[in-house]
Structure 1
């Protein structure tokens, strides 16, 4: 196959799976494992690595199936997307998306045992339900938030799910944040109401406030507190600028970038939460922001 054709195919499939977004998934898993470590549990690094890979596969399956199910709407609103533009056939996207979800469940099971596989299967089920039936309904945005919460819970498997009750509120905060961002994304290609954008801003405030609350519960050393608060400040500043523009003029060219920013900024929020377990945990989560931002200059996030 000529080099030009290979490049075109890579770009088409990278756009299909939303390559930058894939790097926002492993930090969720790192956060889950960090909460295990913060509560005194032992974390298996090989299991964590396998679960992070499973998370990427599940996310890629979800974004691929999203375009599979959205192909008719994309033909009207986003004809440049891989399926309506003819760069990827709809049938191929369906097979690939299903295969990626299946691979994610299998990798999760192999990495950390049957309970991890069960969480991965639940995550795959929520993703499939959102893409196929729940998107655009009154509960669709909650399903997307739930998928991200399950992604954090997948990280608990790296420590054998040995976690105290207080840790559960962290994935619930992630659920709320992503649910509100997803609600803002629902009509990003057409029209978006200001109160929906304001709701996403509320999700940002919720995330930052939850980090501060977690610091009060865990009470880590001063260095970790400073790092967590610095990350929260960065999270507020980054998302605030994008959401502010979207609120001032809610139209596709401001709302779309705001959605993309909030998705990638979840990496920073994950790192802020993970800081309670130590600086290495925060840096491990934050490291994924580098490739995410790099690829976001080339491929769409939302």
Structure 2
């Protein structure tokens, strides 16, 4: 069981339900648990497919991973990816009908395209960002434009994660570090704009909570990324990636709180201790 949890990056999976909540909050529509299940299934499928596609490279660079170490067979990993994709599409269709199925299908197609071809090209970071952007839009229903800023914010953050993820083996150069920092800054700006656009009470508790959460996001991700300028070695890059993945949670929570949904924001934050506990015991990227 542990090998499967490592294969699908269980610690990082805790950052997924917040995409739907952030999209639904920005669009001012009720959260749909079925869509959260759909996005979670598609995320887990992407992680399993990633390791299946990278099994030969991982045998050299990361032999401890489940497939090259022999703890999970390639066939089982691919079958899990396919099964989770089908489950995600079904869950989206049940939760939001044809619209949910179409959007989940687009998301699934982007995930598979990334894992099977785009990841190691110049389009890799952008395609990964597109996956998370589409995941947020899955929760917006018919109000796609209303959720656009928040979707782009999470996409920008993911772009930065992908840039750093490419440097986990050999270390990060100055351009990579600056790119990740710029992506985080864009994520903060877009989240702030999304909160102000949807909330007509700028002095309310939601806006105050959103500001505090954005400050926490910067402290969790931006400070560590800036520190890479002094220590850009692979160990520090992997730490920055791990914290950036967990940093999605306060970013999502800020978007949710900014729309006045403080209970939902609190529920997202409640998952962070578990995420930190799991990430100390197995890989998040």
TM-score normalised over the length of structure 2: 0.94
- Cα deviation for residue 18 of structure 1 reads 0.5
> Secondary structure of 1:51's match?
helix
Partner residue in 2 for 1:292 = 275
Hey, what's the Cα distance between the residues in 1 that align with 2:166 and 2:121? 10
> Secondary structure of 1:83's match?
coil
More helix by percentage: 1
Partner residue in 2 for 1:29 = 20
- Cα deviation for residue 120 of structure 1 reads 0.8
Is the Cα contact below 8 Å between 2:27 and 2:143 reproduced in 1? yes
Partner residue in 2 for 1:181 = 161
Partner residue in 2 for 1:17 = 8
Among 268, 272, 282, the alignment partner of 2:254 is 272
Q: 1:292 to 1:285 in 2, by over 3 A?
A: same
Is the Cα contact below 8 Å between 1:32 and 1:153 reproduced in 2? yes
Is the Cα contact below 8 Å between 2:152 and 2:190 reproduced in 1? no
Aligned residues: 282
Among 69, 77, 80, the alignment partner of 1:93 is 77
Q: Which segment is superposed worse, 70-79 or 214-223?
A: 214-223
- Cα deviation for residue 240 of structure 1 reads 2.4
- Gaps (5+ residues) in structure 2? none
- Cα deviation for residue 206 of structure 1 reads 1.2
List per-residue Cα deviations over 1:4-33 (Å, max 9, x = no partner). xxxxxx111110000001111100011011
Partner residue in 1 for 2:170 = 190
List per-residue Cα deviations over 1:146-193 (Å, max 9, x = no partner). 000011011113xxx235x34312212222221122012113112321
Is the Cα contact below 8 Å between 2:209 and 2:258 reproduced in 1? no
Hey, what's the Cα distance between the residues in 1 that align with 2:177 and 2:277? 26
Hey, what's the Cα distance between the residues in 2 that align with 1:298 and 1:156? 34
List per-residue Cα deviations over 1:194-236 (Å, max 9, x = no partner). 2101111111111112233234323434211110010011000
Partner residue in 2 for 1:250 = 232
CA RMSD of aligned residues (A): 1.5
List per-residue Cα deviations over 1:58-113 (Å, max 9, x = no partner). 11000000000001110011000000000001111111111111111111111121
List per-residue Cα deviations over 1:258-278 (Å, max 9, x = no partner). 011111101110110111221
Q: 1:162 to 1:240 in 2, by over 3 A?
A: closer
Is the Cα contact below 8 Å between 1:123 and 1:150 reproduced in 2? yes
Partner residue in 2 for 1:5 = none
Alignment of 1:162 with 2:146, yes or no, is no
Alignment of 1:73 with 2:35, yes or no, is no
Partner residue in 1 for 2:284 = 301
TM-score normalised over the length of structure 1: 0.89
